[in-house]
Amino acid sequence: MDLSDELVKKTICRTEPAYKRIGGCDIEPPNPCCFVIFGASGDLTKRKLIPSLYRLHKNNLLPENFFVLGTGRVEMSADKFREDMLATVKETFPNDFNHTCWKELAAKLYYSPLDYSSSESYKKSLANQLPVLEERHKTNKNRIFYLAIPPAVFEDVIVNLGNTGLSHEDGGYAHIVVEKPFGRDLESAKRLNSILKKSFQEHQVYRIDHYLAKETVQDIMMFRFANSIFEPLWNNKYIDYVQITVAETIGIEQRAGYYEETGVIRDMFPNHILQLLALTAMEPPASFDADSVRDERIKVFRSMRPFPLDRLDEYVVTGQYGSGKMNGKNVVGYREEPGVSRESTTLTFAAMKIFVDNWRWKGIPFYLRSGKRLLSRKTEIAIQFKPVPHMMFSNLLNEPIQPNTLVFRVQPDEGINLVFQAKEPGSKVCLRPVVMDFSYQGEILLDAYEWVLLDCMRGDTMLSVREDAVEQTWRFLTPVIDRLESAIKPEKFSNYAAGSSGPAEAALLIERDGRKWRSL
């Protein structure tokens, strides 16, 4: 069934939001607004933003009064911009493209070339054009500035938006959306936040992490705090350890320039992985609102035990992929990728053991790992519970009983499963692990980027990362990155083959504690 069949308009009054029904629940679509996309000719706009806006429009979740103004360094007409976006939407949705819906959205797409560093260009391309388009589309001066551009250009855009007065909220809102990475260390994160604060107030800033908008990730809080059977067990008395895995099969995908400056720790850990950890470990918020939830997430970051830099190898393992086979095909190693130095020490794999020092989690390790060119694509959070305190069946069984495991599958097959023991049918005392499984397959009505864009338009910052959280995660990781980068020698790499589960040292990191990684 098409999603639009599940949307029920409950009011036709446009002065108040029209509630729509999606999957049996009412959601509040946004008020009139415009999207100004910086980097509109770039990869992010083509792969994610325009396809997501098309889907939202197709499913009646965009306001009637809405438009997109794309900007960028590339000189092109609005018609050429529409043609390019049509091609990418058709490619993204080959079996779900509706020409009528596209024509409706295309009529609201515009483009204006922009020199990011020139204030005169902002006056000509934005300050003069926006009021005309806002009057035409009746968007009530509600503006969203989306930075789909490299981090090196952030400052120019933010400063010029402030200098030209476009960041001011005059009768409507002005939101700015910043994609990760939010800096490359603590100093640069503080600098970016300082630049933002000169032009925007914190409530206007949306530092988005689309992982937080995935259905299973959003469901972690619901699972924990809407059910009474698990939260009493969610502590160091019953949980043995937690594993968080973000494994990718892809390499760097023609992004050598970005990845050589970033590496896996900067790319994945301050945002995706530590945000997953925070949702797993946080205390119950007083209420389900953005500030209360984000207050609890930052408490987790402040409770993370600093790494002992003199014994870092006991807590952190790094790697870089070499050549190998993926799906039966030979693939090159990282250093053979186009644009990568033949002596590069950039990390493509990292595993960490982290402790959260508070009453709930004292002594419980969180094992984190992420890497490229690994055996399979998988993102999951696995809660491993402790064995039963007394094994009454030990004299009847030939092997240990597997403890209970609760797994949040974030991708690719979103869902939740619980492993528990049950009697084997036809036996007197023979146990086997069985799985209680809940799957979202076929039920994902909005993808992560669609939720993020909706929240930016609705003014909901719950899935946005706050200034203090950005700085705290970098405060935790920057000393580790500095120590690793000062000590890594080129001859160490490569140390794992493409298509494997990562470096052998990563297995030792967890096996020293009598545990093992879950299979990829």
**pLDDT tens digits for range 339-377:** 999 999 999 999 999 999 999 999 999 999 999 999 999
- b/e burial code for range 98-126 (CB count within 10 A of at least 16 → b): beebbeebbebbbbbbbebeeeebbbebb
Ranges 23-27, 139-143, 448-452, most confident: 139-143
Examine the pLDDT at 316 and tell me if it is beyond 50: yes
| Calpha distance 49→254 (Å, rounded) | 20
Examine the pLDDT at 10 and tell me if it is beyond 90: no
**What is the CATH superfamily name and number for domain 212-388+467-512?**
Dihydrodipicolinate Reductase; domain 2 (3.30.360.10)
Q: What is the pTM of this model?
A: 0.90
Q: Residue range 94-114: average pLDDT?
A: 93
pLDDT at 3: 40
- Judge contact between 257 and 338, C-beta under 8 A: no
| Calpha distance 405→58 (Å, rounded) | 40
pLDDT at 393: 62
> Phi and psi (nearest 5°) for 65?
-95, 100
Look up residue 315 and give its amino acid. Y
pLDDT at 428: 63
Examine the pLDDT at 388 and tell me if it is beyond 80: no
Out of 130-139, 239-248, 423-432, which region has the weakest mean confidence (pLDDT)? Answer: 423-432
Q: Residue range 286-309: average pLDDT?
A: 95
Examine the pLDDT at 395 and tell me if it is beyond 70: no
- Judge contact between 408 and 220, C-beta under 8 A: yes
Going by pLDDT thresholds of 50, 70 and 90, the confidence category of residue 201 is very high
| Calpha distance 408→116 (Å, rounded) | 42
272 is catalytic: yes
Q: Where are the domains of the chain?
A: 20-179, 212-388+467-512
Show Cβ contacts of residue 171 under 8 Å, excluding neighbours closer than 6 positions: 140, 141
Say which residue, 180 or 319, is predicted with more confidence.
319
pLDDT at 258: 87
| Calpha distance 189→440 (Å, rounded) | 36
Show Cβ contacts of residue 83 under 8 Å, excluding neighbours closer than 6 positions: none
Q: Which candidate, 180, 242, 210, 498, places its Cα nearest to that of 349?
A: 498
Give the N- to C-terminal CA distance of the chain in Å, as an integer: 33
Q: Which candidate, 100, 178, 173, places its Cα nearest to that of 143?
A: 173
pLDDT at 14: 31
| Calpha distance 53→450 (Å, rounded) | 7
Examine the pLDDT at 443 and tell me if it is beyond 80: no
Mention the CATH class of domain 20-179: alpha beta
Annotated catalytic residue within 57, 137, 175, 272: 272
Q: Residue range 207-217: average pLDDT?
A: 85
Out of 215-219, 332-336, 452-456, which region has the weakest mean confidence (pLDDT)? Answer: 215-219
| Calpha distance 151→24 (Å, rounded) | 40
H/E stretch holding 122: helix 119-122
Going by pLDDT thresholds of 50, 70 and 90, the confidence category of residue 180 is confident
